Structure 1
Amino acid sequence: MRTHTQETQQSLTPEMAITILQEGNDRFIKNLKANRNLLQQVNETAAGQFPFAAILSCMDSRTSAELVFDQGLGDIFSIRIAGNVLNDDILGSMEYACKVAGSKLVVVLGHTKCGAIIGACNQVELGNITAMLNKVKPAIEQETRTTENRTGSNPAFVNQVTENNVHLTMARVRKESPILAEMEKDGQIRIIGGVYNVETGKVDFYLQD
Protein backbone atom coordinates (compact mmCIF):
# COMPACT_ATOMS: atom_id res chain seq x y z
CA MET A 1 0.00 0.00 0.00
CA ARG A 2 1.39 3.36 -1.06
CA THR A 3 1.32 6.46 1.08
CA HIS A 4 -1.17 9.21 0.32
CA THR A 5 -0.33 11.78 -2.33
CA GLN A 6 -1.89 15.19 -2.78
CA GLU A 7 -4.11 13.69 -5.48
CA THR A 8 -5.37 10.78 -3.36
CA GLN A 9 -5.88 13.03 -0.34
CA GLN A 10 -7.91 15.54 -2.35
CA SER A 11 -10.02 12.78 -3.90
CA LEU A 12 -11.21 11.57 -0.49
CA THR A 13 -14.47 12.66 1.08
CA PRO A 14 -14.78 12.80 4.87
CA GLU A 15 -16.99 9.70 4.69
CA MET A 16 -14.31 7.83 2.74
CA ALA A 17 -11.76 8.85 5.38
CA ILE A 18 -13.98 7.39 8.09
CA THR A 19 -14.23 4.13 6.13
CA ILE A 20 -10.45 3.93 5.87
CA LEU A 21 -10.15 4.13 9.65
CA GLN A 22 -12.95 1.62 10.21
CA GLU A 23 -11.37 -0.85 7.81
CA GLY A 24 -7.95 -0.30 9.38
CA ASN A 25 -9.27 -1.01 12.87
CA ASP A 26 -11.00 -4.13 11.56
CA ARG A 27 -7.66 -5.37 10.19
CA PHE A 28 -6.02 -4.57 13.52
CA ILE A 29 -8.44 -6.62 15.63
CA LYS A 30 -8.09 -9.50 13.16
CA ASN A 31 -4.28 -9.29 13.46
CA LEU A 32 -3.95 -8.38 9.79
CA LYS A 33 -1.88 -5.61 8.24
CA ALA A 34 -2.00 -3.82 4.94
CA ASN A 35 1.06 -4.61 2.84
CA ARG A 36 3.35 -1.61 3.28
CA ASN A 37 7.01 -0.95 2.57
CA LEU A 38 7.80 1.55 5.32
CA LEU A 39 11.22 2.40 3.92
CA GLN A 40 9.55 3.16 0.60
CA GLN A 41 7.07 5.37 2.46
CA VAL A 42 10.00 7.23 4.01
CA ASN A 43 11.15 8.05 0.51
CA GLU A 44 7.64 8.87 -0.71
CA THR A 45 7.02 11.34 2.12
CA ALA A 46 10.45 12.98 2.08
CA ALA A 47 9.26 15.86 -0.08
CA GLY A 48 5.88 16.36 1.60
CA GLN A 49 2.99 14.81 3.50
CA PHE A 50 -0.73 14.54 2.78
CA PRO A 51 -2.44 12.94 5.80
CA PHE A 52 -6.18 12.33 5.49
CA ALA A 53 -7.05 12.62 9.20
CA ALA A 54 -6.00 14.32 12.42
CA ILE A 55 -6.51 12.12 15.47
CA LEU A 56 -6.45 13.44 19.03
CA SER A 57 -5.78 10.48 21.29
CA CYS A 58 -4.34 9.73 24.70
CA MET A 59 -0.61 9.34 25.33
CA ASP A 60 -1.33 5.87 26.77
CA SER A 61 1.24 3.41 25.40
CA ARG A 62 -1.53 1.05 24.28
CA THR A 63 -3.35 3.51 22.04
CA SER A 64 -1.08 4.42 19.13
CA ALA A 65 -3.45 5.63 16.42
CA GLU A 66 -1.14 4.48 13.64
CA LEU A 67 -1.30 0.93 14.98
CA VAL A 68 -4.95 0.62 16.01
CA PHE A 69 -6.06 1.99 12.63
CA ASP A 70 -3.32 0.17 10.66
CA GLN A 71 -1.97 3.30 8.99
CA GLY A 72 1.47 4.01 7.60
CA LEU A 73 3.86 6.93 7.34
CA GLY A 74 2.23 10.09 6.07
CA ASP A 75 -1.35 8.86 6.56
CA ILE A 76 -2.49 10.62 9.73
CA PHE A 77 -1.60 13.50 12.00
CA SER A 78 -1.32 11.96 15.46
CA ILE A 79 -1.92 14.37 18.37
CA ARG A 80 -1.37 12.71 21.75
CA ILE A 81 -1.88 13.97 25.28
CA ALA A 82 -3.01 12.36 28.53
CA GLY A 83 -6.80 12.10 28.65
CA ASN A 84 -7.11 13.33 25.04
CA VAL A 85 -7.89 16.76 26.46
CA LEU A 86 -8.02 19.92 24.38
CA ASN A 87 -6.00 23.12 24.55
CA ASP A 88 -5.21 26.01 22.19
CA ASP A 89 -2.09 24.37 20.78
CA ILE A 90 -3.96 21.18 19.96
CA LEU A 91 -6.79 23.16 18.41
CA GLY A 92 -4.28 25.04 16.30
CA SER A 93 -2.73 21.75 15.23
CA MET A 94 -6.15 20.51 14.11
CA GLU A 95 -6.71 23.71 12.15
CA TYR A 96 -3.33 23.32 10.49
CA ALA A 97 -4.09 19.69 9.61
CA CYS A 98 -7.41 20.52 7.93
CA LYS A 99 -7.19 24.08 6.65
CA VAL A 100 -3.55 24.08 5.59
CA ALA A 101 -2.58 20.44 5.01
CA GLY A 102 -5.88 19.19 3.60
CA SER A 103 -6.98 16.52 6.08
CA LYS A 104 -10.62 15.46 5.78
CA LEU A 105 -11.29 14.25 9.30
CA VAL A 106 -10.82 15.23 12.94
CA VAL A 107 -11.14 12.34 15.39
CA VAL A 108 -11.30 12.62 19.18
CA LEU A 109 -10.32 9.19 20.45
CA GLY A 110 -10.71 8.19 24.08
CA HIS A 111 -10.01 4.75 25.50
CA THR A 112 -11.11 2.43 28.25
CA LYS A 113 -9.17 2.19 31.52
CA CYS A 114 -7.66 5.63 30.92
CA GLY A 115 -5.32 6.62 33.74
CA ALA A 116 -6.04 10.31 33.25
CA ILE A 117 -9.80 9.79 33.46
CA ILE A 118 -9.40 7.58 36.51
CA GLY A 119 -7.13 10.17 38.12
CA ALA A 120 -9.65 12.92 37.44
CA CYS A 121 -12.45 10.79 38.92
CA ASN A 122 -10.26 10.29 42.00
CA GLN A 123 -9.59 14.04 42.17
CA VAL A 124 -5.84 13.54 42.02
CA GLU A 125 -3.82 16.69 42.61
CA LEU A 126 -0.12 16.60 41.82
CA GLY A 127 2.00 19.33 40.25
CA ASN A 128 1.04 20.20 36.69
CA ILE A 129 -1.11 17.08 36.50
CA THR A 130 -3.76 18.94 38.50
CA ALA A 131 -4.46 21.54 35.81
CA MET A 132 -4.51 18.87 33.11
CA LEU A 133 -7.01 16.68 34.97
CA ASN A 134 -9.21 19.70 35.67
CA LYS A 135 -10.05 19.65 31.96
CA VAL A 136 -11.90 16.37 32.56
CA LYS A 137 -14.13 17.82 35.30
CA PRO A 138 -16.96 18.86 32.93
CA ALA A 139 -17.24 15.24 31.81
CA ILE A 140 -17.46 14.12 35.44
CA GLU A 141 -20.07 16.73 36.28
CA GLN A 142 -22.14 15.70 33.27
CA GLU A 143 -22.44 12.14 34.59
CA THR A 144 -25.37 12.49 37.00
CA ARG A 145 -26.79 8.97 36.91
CA THR A 146 -24.10 7.62 39.20
CA THR A 147 -24.93 8.65 42.76
CA GLU A 148 -22.62 6.32 44.69
CA ASN A 149 -18.93 5.54 44.34
CA ARG A 150 -18.19 8.34 41.90
CA THR A 151 -14.52 7.38 41.82
CA GLY A 152 -11.99 5.70 39.57
CA SER A 153 -12.77 2.37 41.23
CA ASN A 154 -16.20 2.28 39.56
CA PRO A 155 -15.68 1.00 35.98
CA ALA A 156 -19.17 1.99 34.81
CA PHE A 157 -18.67 5.53 36.08
CA VAL A 158 -15.23 5.78 34.48
CA ASN A 159 -16.55 4.48 31.16
CA GLN A 160 -19.34 7.04 31.10
CA VAL A 161 -16.98 9.87 31.99
CA THR A 162 -14.67 8.68 29.20
CA GLU A 163 -17.50 8.84 26.69
CA ASN A 164 -18.65 12.22 27.99
CA ASN A 165 -15.12 13.54 27.68
CA VAL A 166 -15.01 12.58 23.99
CA HIS A 167 -18.35 14.21 23.20
CA LEU A 168 -17.56 17.38 25.17
CA THR A 169 -14.19 17.68 23.43
CA MET A 170 -15.87 17.33 20.04
CA ALA A 171 -18.29 20.09 21.03
CA ARG A 172 -15.41 22.29 22.17
CA VAL A 173 -13.61 21.83 18.86
CA ARG A 174 -16.68 23.11 17.03
CA LYS A 175 -17.26 25.96 19.48
CA GLU A 176 -13.68 27.16 19.87
CA SER A 177 -12.56 26.79 16.26
CA PRO A 178 -14.71 28.77 13.82
CA ILE A 179 -12.37 27.52 11.09
CA LEU A 180 -13.12 23.85 11.72
CA ALA A 181 -16.80 24.48 12.40
CA GLU A 182 -17.18 26.25 9.07
CA MET A 183 -15.28 23.52 7.22
CA GLU A 184 -17.56 20.89 8.73
CA LYS A 185 -20.65 22.93 7.88
CA ASP A 186 -19.45 23.16 4.29
CA GLY A 187 -18.86 19.39 4.12
CA GLN A 188 -15.10 19.72 3.71
CA ILE A 189 -14.37 17.77 6.90
CA ARG A 190 -16.09 15.70 9.58
CA ILE A 191 -15.48 15.90 13.33
CA ILE A 192 -16.14 12.54 14.94
CA GLY A 193 -15.29 10.68 18.12
CA GLY A 194 -14.60 7.18 19.33
CA VAL A 195 -13.45 5.04 22.22
CA TYR A 196 -10.75 2.39 21.90
CA ASN A 197 -11.17 -0.73 24.02
CA VAL A 198 -7.78 -1.72 25.44
CA GLU A 199 -9.01 -5.28 26.01
CA THR A 200 -10.30 -6.02 22.52
CA GLY A 201 -8.55 -3.48 20.28
CA LYS A 202 -11.88 -2.35 18.86
CA VAL A 203 -12.83 1.28 18.30
CA ASP A 204 -16.47 2.24 18.77
CA PHE A 205 -17.06 5.30 16.62
CA TYR A 206 -19.38 8.21 17.44
CA LEU A 207 -20.38 9.47 14.03
CA GLN A 208 -23.22 11.68 15.21
CA ASP A 209 -23.13 14.15 18.08
Structure 2
Amino acid sequence: MKAHTKETQASLTPEMAFQILKEGNIRFANNLKVNRNLLQQLNETSEEQYPFAVVLSCVDSRTSAELIFDQGLGDLFSIRIAGNIVNDDILGSMEFACKISGAKIIVVLGHSRCGAIKGACDNITLGNLTGLIGKLKPAVARVREPATNRNSKNSEFVENVARANVFQTIANIKHRSAVLREMLENYQIAIVGGMYEIQTGMIEFYQRPEILDCSRNEPGGLVGVVNYM
Protein backbone atom coordinates (compact mmCIF):
# COMPACT_ATOMS: atom_id res chain seq x y z
CA MET A 1 0.00 0.00 0.00
CA LYS A 2 1.36 3.40 -1.01
CA ALA A 3 1.58 6.49 1.15
CA HIS A 4 -1.02 9.21 0.71
CA THR A 5 -0.39 11.84 -1.94
CA LYS A 6 -1.67 15.40 -2.16
CA GLU A 7 -4.42 14.16 -4.48
CA THR A 8 -5.58 11.26 -2.32
CA GLN A 9 -5.55 13.42 0.81
CA ALA A 10 -7.57 16.16 -0.91
CA SER A 11 -10.13 13.63 -2.15
CA LEU A 12 -11.09 12.59 1.39
CA THR A 13 -13.95 14.05 3.38
CA PRO A 14 -13.86 13.97 7.19
CA GLU A 15 -16.42 11.15 7.14
CA MET A 16 -14.26 9.14 4.72
CA ALA A 17 -11.21 9.68 6.91
CA PHE A 18 -13.19 8.47 9.91
CA GLN A 19 -14.23 5.33 8.03
CA ILE A 20 -10.61 4.57 7.12
CA LEU A 21 -9.63 4.76 10.79
CA LYS A 22 -12.56 2.60 11.91
CA GLU A 23 -11.75 -0.07 9.35
CA GLY A 24 -8.08 0.02 10.27
CA ASN A 25 -8.85 -0.56 13.94
CA ILE A 26 -11.09 -3.51 13.08
CA ARG A 27 -8.24 -5.03 11.05
CA PHE A 28 -5.81 -4.51 13.92
CA ALA A 29 -8.11 -6.08 16.50
CA ASN A 30 -8.58 -9.10 14.25
CA ASN A 31 -4.89 -9.39 13.31
CA LEU A 32 -5.68 -8.74 9.63
CA LYS A 33 -3.26 -5.90 9.04
CA VAL A 34 -2.66 -4.55 5.54
CA ASN A 35 0.60 -5.63 3.94
CA ARG A 36 2.75 -2.50 3.68
CA ASN A 37 6.17 -1.93 2.22
CA LEU A 38 7.46 0.49 4.83
CA LEU A 39 10.70 1.10 2.95
CA GLN A 40 8.66 2.11 -0.09
CA GLN A 41 6.55 4.44 2.06
CA LEU A 42 9.74 5.84 3.55
CA ASN A 43 10.93 6.75 0.08
CA GLU A 44 7.52 8.11 -0.96
CA THR A 45 7.35 10.46 2.02
CA SER A 46 10.98 11.55 2.08
CA GLU A 47 10.22 14.84 0.30
CA GLU A 48 6.59 15.54 1.26
CA GLN A 49 3.92 14.18 3.59
CA TYR A 50 0.13 14.21 3.32
CA PRO A 51 -1.34 12.62 6.46
CA PHE A 52 -5.13 12.44 6.52
CA ALA A 53 -5.70 12.34 10.29
CA VAL A 54 -4.45 13.64 13.63
CA VAL A 55 -4.57 11.33 16.64
CA LEU A 56 -4.12 12.67 20.15
CA SER A 57 -3.45 9.73 22.44
CA CYS A 58 -1.71 8.83 25.68
CA VAL A 59 1.98 8.04 26.09
CA ASP A 60 1.00 4.57 27.32
CA SER A 61 3.21 2.04 25.52
CA ARG A 62 0.14 0.06 24.43
CA THR A 63 -1.51 2.90 22.50
CA SER A 64 0.59 3.49 19.39
CA ALA A 65 -1.81 5.14 16.94
CA GLU A 66 -0.18 3.80 13.77
CA LEU A 67 -0.52 0.25 15.05
CA ILE A 68 -4.04 0.33 16.48
CA PHE A 69 -5.42 2.10 13.40
CA ASP A 70 -3.33 -0.08 11.05
CA GLN A 71 -1.76 2.87 9.24
CA GLY A 72 1.66 3.35 7.70
CA LEU A 73 4.34 5.98 7.33
CA GLY A 74 2.93 9.34 6.29
CA ASP A 75 -0.69 8.54 7.21
CA LEU A 76 -1.09 10.07 10.66
CA PHE A 77 0.04 13.04 12.70
CA SER A 78 0.49 11.32 16.05
CA ILE A 79 0.46 13.46 19.20
CA ARG A 80 1.07 11.67 22.49
CA ILE A 81 0.95 12.98 26.03
CA ALA A 82 -0.03 11.36 29.31
CA GLY A 83 -3.78 11.59 29.76
CA ASN A 84 -4.37 12.81 26.15
CA ILE A 85 -4.77 16.42 27.27
CA VAL A 86 -4.19 19.59 25.24
CA ASN A 87 -2.00 22.62 25.83
CA ASP A 88 -0.99 25.53 23.61
CA ASP A 89 1.79 23.56 21.92
CA ILE A 90 -0.50 20.64 21.13
CA LEU A 91 -3.19 22.98 19.81
CA GLY A 92 -0.60 24.64 17.62
CA SER A 93 0.47 21.24 16.32
CA MET A 94 -3.13 20.39 15.49
CA GLU A 95 -3.59 23.71 13.70
CA PHE A 96 -0.47 23.00 11.65
CA ALA A 97 -1.66 19.48 10.86
CA CYS A 98 -5.13 20.54 9.72
CA LYS A 99 -4.90 24.09 8.39
CA ILE A 100 -1.48 23.89 6.77
CA SER A 101 -0.95 20.19 6.06
CA GLY A 102 -4.48 19.18 5.16
CA ALA A 103 -5.50 16.54 7.73
CA LYS A 104 -9.25 15.89 7.69
CA ILE A 105 -10.00 14.58 11.14
CA ILE A 106 -8.79 14.84 14.75
CA VAL A 107 -9.28 11.82 17.01
CA VAL A 108 -9.01 12.29 20.76
CA LEU A 109 -8.27 8.80 22.00
CA GLY A 110 -8.48 7.77 25.63
CA HIS A 111 -7.83 4.24 26.79
CA SER A 112 -8.80 1.81 29.50
CA ARG A 113 -6.73 1.44 32.68
CA CYS A 114 -4.97 4.75 32.07
CA GLY A 115 -2.23 5.45 34.62
CA ALA A 116 -2.56 9.22 34.30
CA ILE A 117 -6.30 9.02 34.93
CA LYS A 118 -5.67 6.82 37.96
CA GLY A 119 -3.18 9.40 39.21
CA ALA A 120 -5.80 12.13 38.91
CA CYS A 121 -8.36 10.00 40.74
CA ASP A 122 -5.83 9.50 43.55
CA ASN A 123 -4.69 13.15 43.54
CA ILE A 124 -1.06 12.14 42.96
CA THR A 125 1.65 14.79 43.30
CA LEU A 126 5.12 14.25 41.85
CA GLY A 127 7.39 16.91 40.41
CA ASN A 128 6.28 18.17 37.01
CA LEU A 129 3.65 15.43 36.84
CA THR A 130 1.64 17.41 39.41
CA GLY A 131 0.77 20.08 36.87
CA LEU A 132 -0.26 17.54 34.25
CA ILE A 133 -2.45 15.70 36.75
CA GLY A 134 -4.10 19.02 37.55
CA LYS A 135 -5.30 19.27 33.96
CA LEU A 136 -7.13 15.96 34.39
CA LYS A 137 -8.95 16.92 37.58
CA PRO A 138 -11.84 18.66 35.77
CA ALA A 139 -12.72 15.28 34.27
CA VAL A 140 -12.72 13.75 37.74
CA ALA A 141 -15.10 16.45 38.93
CA ARG A 142 -17.41 15.92 35.94
CA VAL A 143 -18.10 12.33 37.00
CA ARG A 144 -20.49 12.95 39.86
CA GLU A 145 -21.06 9.40 41.03
CA PRO A 146 -20.18 7.66 43.22
CA ALA A 147 -19.88 10.08 46.10
CA THR A 148 -17.45 7.73 47.87
CA ASN A 149 -14.63 5.43 46.70
CA ARG A 150 -13.55 8.00 44.11
CA ASN A 151 -10.08 6.55 43.60
CA SER A 152 -8.11 4.23 41.34
CA LYS A 153 -9.32 1.13 43.16
CA ASN A 154 -12.77 1.77 41.72
CA SER A 155 -12.27 0.59 38.15
CA GLU A 156 -15.69 1.75 36.94
CA PHE A 157 -15.02 5.23 38.27
CA VAL A 158 -11.61 5.31 36.55
CA GLU A 159 -13.11 4.35 33.18
CA ASN A 160 -15.87 6.94 33.53
CA VAL A 161 -13.29 9.62 34.27
CA ALA A 162 -11.27 8.54 31.22
CA ARG A 163 -14.36 8.96 29.05
CA ALA A 164 -15.18 12.32 30.60
CA ASN A 165 -11.62 13.43 29.90
CA VAL A 166 -12.01 12.65 26.20
CA PHE A 167 -15.00 14.97 25.98
CA GLN A 168 -13.30 17.57 28.15
CA THR A 169 -10.33 17.55 25.76
CA ILE A 170 -12.58 17.93 22.71
CA ALA A 171 -14.37 20.83 24.35
CA ASN A 172 -11.00 22.44 25.13
CA ILE A 173 -9.89 22.09 21.51
CA LYS A 174 -13.04 23.82 20.28
CA HIS A 175 -12.91 26.53 22.91
CA ARG A 176 -9.21 27.34 22.72
CA SER A 177 -8.53 27.11 18.97
CA ALA A 178 -10.41 29.55 16.76
CA VAL A 179 -8.62 28.04 13.75
CA LEU A 180 -9.88 24.51 14.38
CA ARG A 181 -13.31 25.73 15.47
CA GLU A 182 -13.78 27.55 12.16
CA MET A 183 -12.61 24.52 10.18
CA LEU A 184 -15.02 22.34 12.15
CA GLU A 185 -17.94 24.71 11.55
CA ASN A 186 -17.17 24.69 7.82
CA TYR A 187 -16.88 20.88 7.83
CA GLN A 188 -13.31 21.02 6.62
CA ILE A 189 -12.42 18.73 9.52
CA ALA A 190 -14.15 16.56 12.09
CA ILE A 191 -13.24 15.97 15.74
CA VAL A 192 -14.10 12.55 17.13
CA GLY A 193 -13.64 10.99 20.56
CA GLY A 194 -12.97 7.37 21.32
CA MET A 195 -11.86 4.92 23.98
CA TYR A 196 -9.33 2.20 23.24
CA GLU A 197 -9.76 -1.04 25.16
CA ILE A 198 -6.29 -2.39 25.84
CA GLN A 199 -7.57 -5.94 26.39
CA THR A 200 -9.35 -6.32 23.04
CA GLY A 201 -7.66 -3.77 20.78
CA MET A 202 -11.04 -2.30 19.83
CA ILE A 203 -12.00 1.38 19.92
CA GLU A 204 -15.43 2.56 20.99
CA PHE A 205 -16.17 5.77 19.13
CA TYR A 206 -18.52 8.21 20.77
CA GLN A 207 -19.94 10.20 17.89
CA ARG A 208 -20.26 10.51 14.16
CA PRO A 209 -18.21 13.39 12.78
CA GLU A 210 -21.24 15.09 11.23
CA ILE A 211 -23.19 15.25 14.51
CA LEU A 212 -20.38 16.02 16.91
CA ASP A 213 -21.35 18.75 19.35
CA CYS A 214 -19.18 19.32 22.39
CA SER A 215 -20.71 22.67 23.29
CA ARG A 216 -23.48 21.13 25.39
CA ASN A 217 -22.97 19.97 28.96
CA GLU A 218 -25.04 16.85 29.47
CA PRO A 219 -26.35 15.51 32.79
CA GLY A 220 -23.66 13.60 34.62
CA GLY A 221 -20.94 15.78 33.17
CA LEU A 222 -20.38 13.96 29.87
CA VAL A 223 -20.79 15.85 26.62
CA GLY A 224 -22.79 14.74 23.60
CA VAL A 225 -22.24 10.98 23.88
CA VAL A 226 -23.41 8.98 20.88
CA ASN A 227 -22.23 5.39 20.61
CA TYR A 228 -21.04 4.62 17.10
CA MET A 229 -19.47 1.31 16.21
What TM-score range do you get, normalising by the shorter chain? over 0.9
Q: TM-score, normalised by structure 1?
A: 0.99
Deviation at 1:145, TM superposition (A): 1.8
Letter in 2 for 1:164: A
Superposed displacement of residue 58, structure 1: 0.1
Match of 1:170 in 2: 170
Q: Which residue of 2 aligns with 1:103?
A: 103
State the distance in 2 between where 1:153 and 1:76 align: 35
Give the secondary-structure state (helix, strand or coil) at the position aligned to 1:135: helix
Quick one: distance in 1 between partners of 2:106 and 2:115?
A: 23
1:120 maps to which residue? 120
User: Secondary structure at 1:136's aligned position in 2?
Assistant: helix
The one-character-per-residue Cα deviations of 1:143-181 (angstroms, maximum 9, x if unpaired) are 112112000110010000000000010011001001001
For 2:25 and 2:15, locate their aligned partners in 1 and report how far apart those are by CA, in whole Å. Answer: 16
Partners of 1:3 and 1:179 in 2: CA distance: 27
- How far has the Cα of 1:35 moved from its partner? 1.6
Which segments of 5 or more consecutive residues in structure 2 lack a partner in the other structure? Answer: 213-223, 225-229
Q: What CA deviation, in whole Å up to 9, does each residue of 1:49-70 have, x standing for no partner?
A: 0000011000000000000000
What pairs up with 1:4-153 in 2 under 5 angstroms? 4-153=4-153
The two structures have a TM-score, normalised by structure 2, of 0.90
Matched residue SS, 1:35: coil
- The corresponding residue for 1:187 is 187
Matches of 2:192 and 2:33 in 1, distance apart? 24
SS in structure 2 of the partner of residue 158 of structure 1 = helix
- Unaligned runs of 5+ residues in structure 1 are none
In the TM superposition, structure 1's runs of 4+ consecutive aligned residues that sit over 4 Å from their partners are none
Q: For the residues of structure 1 that align with 2:91 and 2:206, how far apart are their CA atoms?
A: 20
What's the C-alpha RMSD, in Å, of the aligned pairs? 0.6
Identity of aligned residues (%): 58
